[in-house]
Amino acid sequence: MKKIISKKIKTALLILCTVASLQYAYSNGKKDAAIEDPNGILQEEITDTPSTEELEKPAIAYSHDLPKGDSVKFHEVWAYILDGHSDGLTDDMNITDLCLFSAGVNVYGEINYVPDSSQIKKFKGRKHLIVTCDSRSLTHFILDPDYGVRQKLISRLVKISKDFDGLQIDFELVPARDEKNFQTFLLDVRGRIGREKWFSVALPARTKTLSDDVYDYDKISSCVDRIIVMAYDEHWSGSKPGPVASMDWCEKVADYASSVIPQKKLVMGLPFYGRTWVDDSLDSAWRFKGINNMFNERNMHTVTRDERGIPTFTFTTQVTVTGYFDDSFSLVERCRMYESKNIKKTAFWRIGQEDSTFWPWLELN
């Protein structure tokens, strides 16, 4: 019995390794920092500048439903781009605000790396530097003024933001007891960088007010110029299969965010990536090109859509793989939903993961 179970596990892991070789997950520790190979060795995602082949627009491997009607229009379009991946930026993308990801904080509470702003110098819109901290204990260490590193860090943030039009804080692991420290930290940074700089913050999605919420939209909105609501990861690596951001869930997030964040400060985030689950448990994150490569390798050329238009697929190869992703059809539908709610600003995570046929459907007004 043990030998049979072991054989099944090994087979599943070998298949996962094949799947993982195509994936293009989050990088630099933002969400899924690493993948596990069949030998149990964690391997970080390769984040080198894409090759010429990778930058080519992917042939659509399945029956691709195209949007109908008019394009969608927003007053501001924010988009994230990884450090070193600026070749993925093209002139046909109607983007007002480009977010370079990211500067990080080391174990001493210091900025240990700053992306070079010159790599996006040709972009004509506003350029924002993103600052991340991917440890709960480290986040507490830099936010609590009693440790003596907070003011030094803020002084450093002022300095590194000089080559950018704006600065964005993306601290996704703020401990609950640091709610006040987080808010005063944002206020201190806002005051130090000066009003000529745009100051924004990325916050996780909420559908209602939570008690003692460290990411209280209402309180934080007074500290910043823009709040990017990360309306994705409704279903994630540890959840059961489902859309990264279902339409119904996004509507609830948008309705709540609109009720507590001033319209001029609200930016709704949309995902460009997809996810797969193997037998309802293990997962991978995918860019659009990777999904198409997988379809071609398995000679799959059709997808189904859920009731709100998000494409999904399932195939069995000793284990059952279920995936959800977004293409131009579902992205336009999602944008139209936000547009119908009079939301004027949107943001996309991230350039390089998208269905490139989406961009012509996006306009600025």
Residues acting as catalytic residues = 172
Nearest alpha carbon to residue 188 among 160, 238, 152, 235: 152
Q: How far apart, in whole angstroms, are the C-alpha atoms of residue 23 and residue 288?
A: 10
Contacts of 317 (CB under 8 A, 6+ apart): 15, 298
Q: Is the peptide bond between 102 and the residue preceding it cis, with omega within 30 degrees of 0?
A: yes
Q: Are 69 and 99 in contact (CB under 8 A)?
A: no
Tokens of 339: 């547009």
Contacts of 97 (CB under 8 A, 6+ apart): 76, 77, 78, 79, 125, 126, 127, 128, 166, 198, 347
Q: Are 274 and 288 in contact (CB under 8 A)?
A: yes
Place of tokens 């823009």: 226
Q: What is the DSSP letter of 163?
A: G
- What is the H or E stretch that residue 80 is in? strand 76-82
Q: Are 22 and 46 in contact (CB under 8 A)?
A: no
